[in-house]
Structure 1
Amino acid sequence: METKKKIDNEILDSIRAHINSVPRVESHYVRASTSREFIDGGLSIAEMHRNYAKEQKSANKPEVNYDTYARIFNFEFNIGFFAPRKDQCDLCESYKNAEEKEKEKLENAYQLHLKEKN
């Protein structure tokens, strides 16, 4: 019979704290119908685990393997890695992708749009 090794609560808390430290973006259009949050910036669970492991090593603290990190991420958090396709607003996207001079022209409309969104 195989026995599972129990992971110390302090280590589990360090995983949760690391996941919570990653900035999230709220869904734009579908926020009324979902509580899911999204991580921007091209991260993946594997990349987050590598960052976590590096931080733990530099602080001389124990770390967990990828499977444990991924299990906590997947079962305790409601986070996705990209905004849904229907969640991409034309005004927000054009402002985000505009060059500086164009951004200056769009600034007032964009700020008004953000106020209306909230």
Structure 2
Amino acid sequence: MAFLKQFFASLPKMPSHYCRAMGRHGIAFACNRESKQYLEPIIADKTMLYTLYAMECQKSEKIALSRWTLCRVFDELNLSLFTPKKDQFDTCCSHKVGNITDDIYNRHIRSKNMARNKKAMDKDRAQKIWRCTRFRA
């Protein structure tokens, strides 16, 4: 059990988010869930989390606990899987909390900008009509 908790402690985490809650009269206010920690979006689901844990156990020559135990301890530690908004990319989220270097982030931004420029050029080219005529003698 100690190795499992150590495994969870080693995973990169995102800061907790603010939730929107309704007061007695329907007035929205922000409540801070500071105790909740979110794993970075590199881990998509608990199956992937268990696979990573099992690989870590194999490397350390430990016996992996069951998936049920992993999920129970995961909930006890008040952890959650982070699902980014549709318009956010994993690299951007990771850079925001300092888990990715500026160099990797800048490469990602350059690649994103190049893709957007190419898309704009393709859209522009699609608007033009080309007409080719052939004359035969």
Q: So what's the TM-score if we normalise by structure 2?
A: 0.48
* Whole-Å separation in 2 of the counterparts to 1:40 and 1:82: 6
- Structure 1 counterpart SS, 2:64: coil
Instruction: Please tell me whether residue 99 in structure 1 is matched to residue 106 in structure 2.
Output: no
Cα distance 1:68–1:27, how it changes in 2: closer, same or farther (>3 A)? closer
Given that 1:38 and 1:81 are in contact with CA atoms closer than 8 Å, whether structure 2 keeps it comes out as yes
* Whole-Å separation in 2 of the counterparts to 1:19 and 1:102: 32
Correspondence for 1:15: 4
Given that 2:16 and 2:37 are in contact with CA atoms closer than 8 Å, whether structure 1 keeps it comes out as yes
Cα distance 1:84–1:51, how it changes in 2: closer, same or farther (>3 A)? closer
Correspondence for 1:47: 48
Cα distance 1:101–1:15, how it changes in 2: closer, same or farther (>3 A)? closer
* Whole-Å separation in 1 of the counterparts to 2:70 and 2:52: 11
Given that 1:40 and 1:81 are in contact with CA atoms closer than 8 Å, whether structure 2 keeps it comes out as yes
Report how many residues are paired. 84
Correspondence for 1:37: 37
Bigger fraction of residues in strand: 2
Between the aligned residues of both structures, percent identity stands at 20
Cα distance 1:18–1:101, how it changes in 2: closer, same or farther (>3 A)? closer
Cα distance 1:34–1:84, how it changes in 2: closer, same or farther (>3 A)? farther
Correspondence for 2:123: none
Larger RCO, structure (CA 8 Å, separation 6 or more): 1
Correspondence for 2:23: none
Alpha carbon RMSD of aligned pairs, Å?
3.4
- Structure 1 counterpart SS, 2:4: helix
Asked which structure has the greater CA Rg, the reply is 2
For residues 46-98 of structure 1, the C-alpha deviation after alignment (integer angstroms, 9 at most, x for no partner) is 21111111111222211111111111111x2112212686xx8xxx88x97x8
